[in-house]
Structure formats: C-alpha cells, structure tokens
Amino acid sequence: MALAPQPTQQGGARAARSPTVPPGDQKRLLIDLLLTGLIASAIFGPIVGMSATAPQGGLVLQYRWGTVFWLVAAVVIGRLLLHLFVWNRPDWVKPIHVKRLGAGLVAIGTLALLLGLFVFDAPWFDAVGIFGLIAGAWFYISSSNETAAERGAPSPLAHAIEPLGKYLGIALLLIAIALPFIPGVDRRIVDLAILMLTYVMLGWGLNIVVGLAGLLDLGYVAFYAVGAYAYALLSTIYFPLWFGDGITPWAFWLVLPLAGLLAACWGLILGFPVLRLRGDYLAIVTLAFGEIIRIILINWYDFTGGPNGISDIPRPSFFGIPFTNDENGFAATFGLAYSPLQRIIFLYYVILVLALITNFVTLRLRKLPIGRAWEALREDEIACRSLGINTTNTKLTAFAIGAMFGGFAGSFFATRQGFVSPESFVFMESAIILAIVVLGGLGSQIGVVVAAIAVIGAFELFRELDFLKAIMPEGFDPTQYRMLAVGIAMVLIMRWRPRGLVTKRDPSIYLKEKKAVSADLVAQGHG
C-alpha cells in the first residue's frame, strides 16, 4: 500500500537502500511495525471504518471494521516484507538479480494478463497478471535505479529504450495507420484508439509547455474547452447564421484553424500576466484560470447553454460528403456498401493526422532557435536571461502553441461527441493529461504515446477486472478506483523516476558532442 511510511531517500536514487532499522534488531523492528500499524489505523480507521450514509434523510454511521483490519494488515505486512527483503537485503543478492526478477515477473504478468483477457475466461489469470506486472515493474525500476547508480549511468531504462525509440516510433505509426483494417478490430477498439489518440495529442500539446519550456500548466483543459466550445458554437449557431445552412458540412474544416487560433489567443491572454511568476505560482494561476473558464461556461447561460451544454453539433463530413446512407452519402459516392463504421474510421484518421501534425511541428520547433530557447529556459531561467534570451516571448510562444494544439483537440472532441458540456472540462481532466506527460517523461515524444496508451488502456482494463469482483465483497466496482490509481502512479513515478518512465533529457542541439545531463546534476530549486 502506498500510504505506508517509507524510509528517507536523501540524495535521490543513490540511497535506495537505507534501512531505518538495522538488520537483526528484533525489538526495534517490532516497535517500527507497531507504529506503522497505529498510523495506518489512524488513517483508515475513521474514514474507511465508519461510513456516514443517509439512507432515510438523516446521516447514520455504517461500520466496516473488517475492511479496516485488512487494510492495516496489508500495510504492516507490506512494511515487514520491505524490511526483510528490500531494505535489509542479503548481500549475495545483487541489484541485477532483482532487475532480472522484475523483468521476468513483468513478462509472466503480461502473458497471464493477455491469456486471461483474450484466451481463457478465468479471473485468476487476470489477478496473477496484474500483480505480476505491478510487482515486476516495481522490482525492475527500483533495481535499475540502483544498478545505474553503481555504474554511474544517467538513466538505464531510457538507455535501453533509446536505440529502440526510432523503431518503436515507426512500428507504432505503422500499427496506427493499419489499425482499422486489421482483422478482428471492431468499433469498440477503434473508439478506444480514437480516445487514446486524443490524449496523445493533448499530451503532446501539453508537453510543449511542461516538458519543453518547463512551465507547469494545470489549466490545460481550459484550452481544450475553448476549442470544443468554439466549434460547438460556430457550427451550430453562427456559421448557419452568417453563411446559410450549406456551410454545415464544411464547418469542421473551417472552424478547426479558428479554434486553434482562439485557443492560442487565450494562451496569450493567460500567459501575459503570469510570465513573471515562478514555476509553482504559475501552476496555481493556470489552475485558477482553468476553473474560471469552467465557471463561466456553467453560468453564462445565454451563450454557452450553461450546465446543459450544446447538443446536435454537426458530425464531420468527408470534405463535404456526409456519412449518410443515401445517394449523396460517402458510401454511395465511392461505390461502397454503407456502414456506420466508415464515419468512425474517418474520425480515427482525422485525429491520427492531427496528432501527427502536433508531433511533427514539435519536433521541428525543437530544432529552431525558439525550441532551443524553451529547453534552455527549462534548465535555467536566470542563465537564459543573462544570455540575452527574451524569456517573455519564449514563454508566450510556448503557451500559445501548446494552447493551439489543445484547441485543435477540443474541436475534434466536440465533433466526435456531438455534444459538449462543462462537465468534460474539470480539473481531473487536466490532471490526467499532466499525468500522461509526467509518466512519459517530461519532454519525451514517444514517452507521451506510451504513457497515453498505458493510462487510457489501464482505464479500460479496470472495467475488465472481473477477478477483483470475484475476490472482493459484493458491490465492488473496480472503475471507481481509476483516479486513485492515477494519483498513486503520479506519486510513485516522482519517487522512483522523476523524469518519467521513458526519459529524454538530452538537449536537441548540442555543441561538438552529446553530453548527457543527468537529472541529479541539474540545478535544484532554481528558476
């Protein structure tokens, strides 16, 4: 359980083994475990053990001491295991052994999970798979930190993935292009892929702001909302008003650039006042801005439709040809049999192209002076200023360009859903996008893809976790635990691998030779 008190790790990865209790000291170990149990009961006791519910109006307490007992027991036993096998590991067990064990567990876990999901209908396969994956990942990551510290290498996982990176990217791209035509792929999978790609695009957009320029933006969803509402309002009300109904099939393609532009303007408006702020102030102001946009969307009833949102947003057309089942429709025009899947596949390719444009622009910008200035700004703002970089313009462009891609994604979201409401643009959405960027490694393009697939895939997976329903008491719903898992993952990633799972920390442009700047060496606490 993540809530157990852990020993300190002063100095980052180097002190991964720092026992609070010396080996063989039974008495202190017992005291330590007792204290752990006490604190765990303080945390789980009242909130989990006594649930205030209102079955008939008034609040009544429902007691669940059994759950508390199991949670506390899990924490205490977990800490005991950590004491015995992690912090006081026998000397003959080298980190490399743990690493291999981790890799093996991950492999077994993946295999069991895949078998459990697709071949056998046995919940126990899923259970073994999930626990194997989690435990394996933990062993692997924590021990690769140690082996790296022994060898003095900066980031082992990135080292392993980097040569693969190019091929991984090409492979993913090929799979992405061919996906709708792979046999066995049904509507559900294409829908899921669209969702993943939307988050990949949002992640790439936010990556410009957070990963490249190092400005923590907690209100990114506001730009997504601006894009979505821009398309919703223009296509349902204003375009028919200005240009007549004939414009509707073209609305998406006309509004898309406008939505991006509008979002970019909002990025500038927001960016302008907050430029002088330090990183964490900026985070809170952007968060406040995101909330302001949402509150306005809820309350400006005449314009935005309030909490009810806007419905009947036109669906996209194939450059003017609608996806309908008549002679003017897409199927009839191209001599195909009509199928509702055609529209979904078209949407899939739209978001794929949009996401790839985002990626391409980012990769090119990183080679331009402005991109290099972003990376320099991320590393040291004071040094940047003393070297004559205009930090104001640098930050503003990062904000505006990041916002623009958020706006594009928002337009796409509106046309895909056919309905927008303020509910889609809450802070949690920003947090999920941020989690994707953080998990993928701040500044890494391929990392964002991997993380988006992992996070959105895991969200889907929570629906399939039948084994949990089998072993847990009645009424247990795994989907309730999705955001909890996101939160725990964010904390754990920051502890184990602050630069993300797939780290790309090297500057894009370098003088004479590539010098790896380890995360440990980068200035701490400076702008």
Stretch of 172-180, 235-243, 316-324, 425-433 lying at the interface with other proteins (CB under 8 A) = 425-433
Neighbours of 326 (CB within 10 A): 9
Task: Find all residues with CB under 8 Å of 36, minimum gap 6, and list them.
Answer: 4, 5, 75, 76, 79
Does residue 292 interact with other proteins by CB under 8 A?
Answer: yes
Residues 12-31 that bind other proteins (CB under 8 A): 12
Q: How far from chain centre, in Å, is Cα 297?
A: 25
3-class secondary structure per residue, 253-279 = HHHHHHHHHHHHHHHHHHHHHHCCCCH
Does residue 382 interact with other proteins by CB under 8 A?
Answer: yes
Q: How far apart are CA 434 and CA 239, in angstroms?
A: 34
Stretch of 98-106, 162-170, 188-196, 273-281 lying at the interface with other proteins (CB under 8 A) = 273-281
Does residue 490 interact with other proteins by CB under 8 A?
Answer: yes
Would you state the structure tokens that stand for residue 178, as one six-digit string? 């061919």
- In the list 486, 503, 504, 507, the residue contacting other proteins (rule: CB under 8 A) is 486
Minimum CB–partner distance for residue 236 and other proteins (Å): 24
Q: How far apart are CA 403 and CA 232, in angstroms?
A: 18
Minimum CB–partner distance for residue 225 and other proteins (Å): 15
Q: By 3-state DSSP, what share of the chain in percent is helix, strand and coil, each rounded to 5?
A: 70, 5, 25
Nearest residue (CB) to other proteins, 177 versus 382: 382
Does residue 448 interact with other proteins by CB under 8 A?
Answer: no
Does residue 33 interact with other proteins by CB under 8 A?
Answer: no
Q: Is 370 helix (H, G, I), strand (E, B) or coil?
A: helix
Residues 324-353 that bind other proteins (CB under 8 A): none
- In the list 17, 33, 37, 48, the residue contacting other proteins (rule: CB under 8 A) is 48
Does residue 468 interact with other proteins by CB under 8 A?
Answer: no
Residues 193-252 that bind other proteins (CB under 8 A): 210, 214, 216, 218
Nearest residue (CB) to other proteins, 58 versus 90: 58
- In the list 17, 94, 159, 495, the residue contacting other proteins (rule: CB under 8 A) is 495
Does residue 86 interact with other proteins by CB under 8 A?
Answer: no
Nearest residue (CB) to other proteins, 318 versus 427: 427
Amino acid symbol at 318 = F
Nearest residue (CB) to other proteins, 162 versus 380: 380
Q: How far apart are CA 232 and CA 240, in angstroms?
A: 12
Instruction: Identify the burial level of 385 via C-beta atoms within 10 angstroms of its C-beta, where 0-12 means exposed, 13-18 middle and 19 or more buried.
Output: middle
